[in-house]
Amino acid sequence: MNPQVATRPPPGLFNMAKTPKAKQKEKTWKVFSRYIRLRDADENGFITCPTCGVRKKWNDGMQAGHCIQGRHNSILYDERGVYGQCMHCNYFMGGEYSKFIMFVIKKRGKKVVEDLLRLDKIPKTYSIEELKQIEEYYKKKTIPFEHKAL
């Protein structure tokens, strides 16, 4: 066999079913992301990307971006470091972290960024129950912003 020829992985290797915890984490993230994007939207439902300035509707190519690279569990749902960000900056430009950090420092202060950087180093795992509690918390917290979703 030629070692330079790539072989295909066994069927199903990358299609494994998600665990109940992974499914719950995904559900929780969707609710949290919706909250962030609606929180950051103006009264007409538009968000201005903190890293490039583009304005788009909260549900049209806008994501919940983290100002700290890595998206570790310890700060995954810490809204102090998550803002509505365009998909181009968040995904295709790798987060534009240097611009994003400057935005958060202006908005929340240097101490908050230092705190997020410190917390990011602390390992955190969530139980399914904790993820459900976070999901419910952000469902309730989204209610005052639902008018922006229309």
The model's pLDDT over 66-124, given as tens digits with 9 standing for 90+, comes to 999 877 899 999 999 999 999 999 999 999 999 999 999 999 999 999 999 999 999 99
Give residue 2's pLDDT.
Answer: 47
Helices (H) and strands (E) in the chain, counts: 6, 4
- Identity (one letter) of the amino acid at 136? E
Q: Bridge partners of 84?
A: 64
DSSP 84: E
Give residue 97's pLDDT.
Answer: 93
User: Does residue 12 fall inside a structural domain?
Assistant: no
Percent of the chain residues past pLDDT 90, beyond the cut: 83
Give residue 71's pLDDT.
Answer: 73
The residue with greater pLDDT, 8 or 24, is 24
Instruction: Using pLDDT thresholds of 50, 70 and 90, give the confidence band for residue 17.
Output: confident
User: Does residue 78 fall inside a structural domain?
Assistant: yes
Instruction: Using pLDDT thresholds of 50, 70 and 90, give the confidence band for residue 7.
Output: low
Enclosing domain of residue 141: 20-149
Contact 32, 133 (CB under 8 A): no
- Does residue 127 sit in helix, strand or coil? coil
Give residue 1's pLDDT.
Answer: 46
User: Does residue 65 fall inside a structural domain?
Assistant: yes
For residue 43, is pLDDT > 80?
yes
User: How many structural domains does the chain have?
Assistant: 1
User: Does residue 3 fall inside a structural domain?
Assistant: no
For residue 150, is pLDDT > 60?
yes
User: Does residue 8 fall inside a structural domain?
Assistant: no
User: Does residue 143 fall inside a structural domain?
Assistant: yes
User: Does residue 9 fall inside a structural domain?
Assistant: no
Mean pLDDT of the chain: 91
Predicted TM-score (pTM) of this structure: 0.87
User: Does residue 6 fall inside a structural domain?
Assistant: no
Mean pLDDT on 24-31? 96
End-to-end CA distance of the chain: 59
Rounded to an integer, what distance in angstroms lies between the CA atom of residue 110 and that of residue 90? 22
